[in-house]
Chain A
Amino acid sequence: MVPLALLGVLAALLAGCGAGAGDKPAGTRLTVTQDFGARAAKRLDAPKVSGSETVMRLLQRNAKVTTRFGGGFVQSIDGVAGGRSGGRPFDWFYYVNGVEASEGAAATRLHPGDRVWWDRHDWGAAQRVPAVVGSFPEPFLHGIGGRRLPVRIECVDVEAPACRMVFERLAGLGVPAARGGLRTAQTEQTLRVLVGPWIQVRADRAFGPVEEGPGRSGVFARPSPDGRRIATLDARGRTARTLGPGTGLIAAAREGDAPPVWAVTGTDAAGVAAAAGQFTERALERRFALAVTGGRPVALPEAAAR
């Protein structure tokens, strides 16, 4: 009987049981924004955190929160509530290391280094935005769900300056990455960065739905099938403007539960190079996706239709 009891205690400990709150997840960051990151409400580089933290507890510890559905979902943060505004549906969504959560915040465990981003936005055009680029250098640095994943940079031309630039930026952040051609390796449970013109990148399954609009892909840009133009969209999914040659795009997409795939792409080589030039934490911070035109970054979705 005693060995059985000891076995039970051991199994419980291995299953994550224990008295007290456990170790604090260090190095976390909490960002709260509105309108797809356009309006910053709060950014805490060292938020108050305790052991056994969930995304919900982290938020409640650092902001005034009201919840619904038994405390599992957030209704308002610091007095800003979800609901309907101007006939449009708004709600709070959260991303951990740039990946949209598939479950309630109370059920999502926080891990060391996680960047948690809450954004209240209009979800009328896209009910889901599976992956965003605004938590860069996550998920490359600390991975997803507390598990760091291998990184592979897939370039149309491995020797192109854009490919090298992306590789060096990641290397500079301490992210070891492999380099190779597009779709030349079996890459399950790998974070991939595709670098090349859209006409080649579009063949990747993760980016296939992008041309069908944000309702399917969560990316508020719609490249033309020939890759020569990229239409930037506003929060309602309407075309804000159509950009021609030399336009770059940095976006993240996700196929099912697979790790997100990033694209540093453009209408042509110049566009790809322009996008690679913006592959920095500063340029990508709080962006769902980023277009680059005339050397200047444009946050996506665009603020309003022109």
Chain B
Amino acid sequence: MIYRRAASPLHAARAAAGGLYCVALAACALSFQHPLVLGAVIAAAAGAGLGAGAGREVLAAARFTVPLALLVALVNPLVIHEGLTVFFRLGDIPPFGPVDLTVEALVYGLLLGVRVIAVALCCALFVAAVDPDETLRLFRRVSFRSALTAALAARLMPVLARDARRMADARACRPGGSDSRAGRVAVLRAVATTALDRAVDVAATLEVRGYGAHTAVRRAADPWSRHDLAFTAAAAFVAALTIVARLAGVGDFAAYPSLSAPAGAAELALAAALVAVALLPFADRRGIER
């Protein structure tokens, strides 16, 4: 998955605003265990992905994360024996004693899995719709060397991906094609073998472009666009909703000893507000061809 500039409000926003927006959504997912809130974050991230024209990338991330989420859901009841509702008894297994699988541990595992998916969607949205160069430029102020290393890595991966595509095309012209396992391994080996050379190429290119200069090139400060303001405001609202809801005990969830997930008006309002606030910036599509 790589960043491609598209005509969308999120792409039009500066990296700081887009990054904050994604981080706020991910932080919200990490702050709550309530299924309604996690569902709202997933809906918001998926909606934002569609709004940013990166629906396919976000969906691909979700598809890759689902097996991990299922693994978490299945492992949790095996290792956590809290909960009152036993649905399967594995008997006494030394040295653990009585090992009972409980509904509470299973549900908690499922919610951990859902949370993994929610965070992955936010990360996928960030990767697909927030300009990595601009993000790295932000971090240049914090740590020059780290930003340079990250820039090198971030720039190298797309180069290697393009190399792999070209090699696969070339391989497809030969007998056997590139669809076979041997063909794919050959392409992978060739890409890995040339990775160091290509890293040097990328480093040289970055140096020529002035990435290696210790003195920062001062750019004239861009005025804040309506999209910058909209996404920054959305991030702030999501963060504020998260903090206020946590302090007020809205969206509290307890799995042990018995499941407790109040789904009253407050929780519904919180979920609806999260989705609305997160998707509102996509309503304004003026000036998205930045």
* Binding partners A and B: yes
List residues of chain A with CB under 8 Å of any chain B CB.
12, 15-22, 50-52, 54, 57, 60-61, 65, 67, 70-71, 103-104, 106-109
Q: B257, A60: Cβ atoms under 8 Å?
A: yes
Query: Which residue of B90, B92, B100 has the most chain A CB atoms within 10 A of its CB atom?
Result: B100
For residue A19, which residue of chain B has the nearest CB? Answer: B88
A22 to B97, CA, bound (A): 17
A21 to B80, CA, bound (A): 16
Please name all residues of chain B whose beta carbon is closer than 8 Å to the beta carbon of A106 when the two chains form the complex.
Answer: 81-82, 97
Please name all residues of chain A whose beta carbon is closer than 8 Å to the beta carbon of B240 when the two chains form the complex.
Answer: none
* The residue from A15, A61, A108 contacting B91, defined by CB atoms under 8 A apart: A15
> What total count of A-B pairs have CB within 8 Å?
64
* The residue from B84, B89, B97, B257 contacting A107, defined by CB atoms under 8 A apart: B97
Please name all residues of chain A whose beta carbon is closer than 8 Å to the beta carbon of B205 when the two chains form the complex.
Answer: none
A65 to B91, CA, bound (A): 25
Q: A51, B86: Cβ atoms under 8 Å?
A: yes
Please name all residues of chain A whose beta carbon is closer than 8 Å to the beta carbon of B249 when the two chains form the complex.
Answer: none
For residue A13, which residue of chain B has the nearest CB? Answer: B91
Q: A16, B92: Cβ atoms under 8 Å?
A: yes
A168 to B218, CA, bound (A): 99
- Known: A50-B86, A107-B96; 16 extra A-B contacts, CB below 8 A, are A12-B91, A15-B91, A15-B92, A16-B89, A17-B88, A18-B88, A20-B86, A20-B88, A21-B86, A22-B89, A51-B86, A52-B89, A60-B257, A107-B97, A108-B97, A109-B92
**8 A-B residue pairings within 8 Å (CB atoms):** A17-B91, A19-B87, A21-B85, A21-B87, A50-B84, A51-B86, A106-B97, A107-B97
Q: How far is the CB of B252 from chain A (nearest CB, A)?
A: 15
Q: A71, B98: Cβ atoms under 8 Å?
A: no
Say if the beta carbon of B64 comes within 8 Å of chain A.
no
For residue A21, which residue of chain B has the nearest CB? Answer: B86
Please name all residues of chain B whose beta carbon is closer than 8 Å to the beta carbon of A60 when the two chains form the complex.
Answer: 84, 257-258
Q: Which of B71-117 contact A (CB under 8 A)?
A: 80-82, 84-92, 96-98, 100
For residue A61, which residue of chain B has the nearest CB? Answer: B84
Query: Which residue of A22, A57, A108 has the most chain B CB atoms within 10 A of its CB atom?
Result: A57
Please name all residues of chain A whose beta carbon is closer than 8 Å to the beta carbon of B87 when the two chains form the complex.
Answer: 19-21
Please name all residues of chain A whose beta carbon is closer than 8 Å to the beta carbon of B86 when the two chains form the complex.
Answer: 20-22, 50-52
Q: A71, B89: Cβ atoms under 8 Å?
A: no
Q: How far is the CB of B93 from chain A (nearest CB, A)?
A: 8
Q: How far is the CB of B82 from chain A (nearest CB, A)?
A: 4
Q: How far is the CB of A54 from chain B (nearest CB, A)?
A: 6
